[in-house]
């Protein structure tokens, strides 16, 4: 299979989040992932897109979210960027600690890391870039996570 890449520049809106999630579901299926992995991939994309639109861009109509999907033949690589203030991943509270268990937010990155084989978060100037990788035939039991 040859590598294929598609990218979109979207508004900072809930409609864009929905489009990103639906596109992820479709492209994951075309890449050969089973139904369970397609759901995991689309949920991870939804979490990253919500973070980009809500926390990154703060629904600012002047700021955009960019999402790129690349099928390398061995993996689906998804990159989402926003134009916000940026994110220091070291300041994100652990959602599994007792004091955070009942909080309404703070689980997005945790879920992305649970559903994907690799998650990289990189600050931009301005904004944040999240790259998620799901290997074809891979398992999240062997996942890697990195923050730069």
Read off the CATH number of the domain in which 125 is found. Answer: 3.30.565.10
Q: For every one of its 148 residues, what pLDDT tens digit does the chain have, with 9 covering 90 and above?
A: 456 999 999 999 999 999 999 999 999 999 999 999 999 999 999 999 999 999 999 999 999 999 999 999 999 999 999 999 987 777 776 767 777 666 666 678 889 999 999 999 999 989 999 999 999 986 544 444 444 4
pTM: 0.86
The contacts of residue 138 (CB under 8 Å, 6+ apart) are 75, 117
Instruction: Say how far residue 132 (Cα) sits from the centre of its chain.
Output: 6
pLDDT at 148: 43
pLDDT at 92: 75
pLDDT at 89: 75
Look at the chain and report how many structural domains it folds into: 1
Q: DSSP code of 32?
A: T
- Helix axes of 14-30 and 35-50: crossing angle, nearest 10 degrees: 150
pLDDT at 86: 83
Q: Report the C-alpha gap between 102 and 98 in whole angstroms.
A: 8
Sheet of 64-71, strands arranged across: 4-11, 64-71, 75-81, 128-135, 118-123, 144-147
Q: Report the C-alpha gap between 17 and 62 in whole angstroms.
A: 16
Contact 131, 148 (CB under 8 A): no
Q: Report the C-alpha gap between 81 and 51 in whole angstroms.
A: 10
Domain span at residue 65?
A: 4-147
């Amino acid at each position: 299979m040859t590598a294929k890449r598609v990218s979109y520049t979207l508004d900072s809106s809930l409609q864009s989040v929905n489009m990103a999630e639906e596109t992820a579901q479709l492209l994951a299926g075309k890449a050969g992932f089973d139904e369970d992995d397609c759901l995991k991939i689309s949920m991870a994309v939804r979490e990253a897109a919500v973070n980009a639109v809500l926390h990154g861009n703060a629904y600012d109509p002047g700021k955009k979210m960019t999402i790129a999907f690349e099928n390398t033949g061995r993996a689906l690589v998804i990159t989402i960027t926003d134009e916000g203030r940026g994110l220091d991943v070291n300041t994100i509270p652990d959602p599994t600690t007792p004091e955070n268990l009942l909080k309404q937010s703070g689980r997005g990155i945790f879920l992305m890391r649970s559903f994907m084989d690799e998650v990289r978060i990189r600050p931009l100037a301005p904004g944040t870039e999240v790259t998620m990788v799901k290997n074809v035939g891979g398992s999240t039991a062997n996942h890697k996570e990195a923050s730069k």
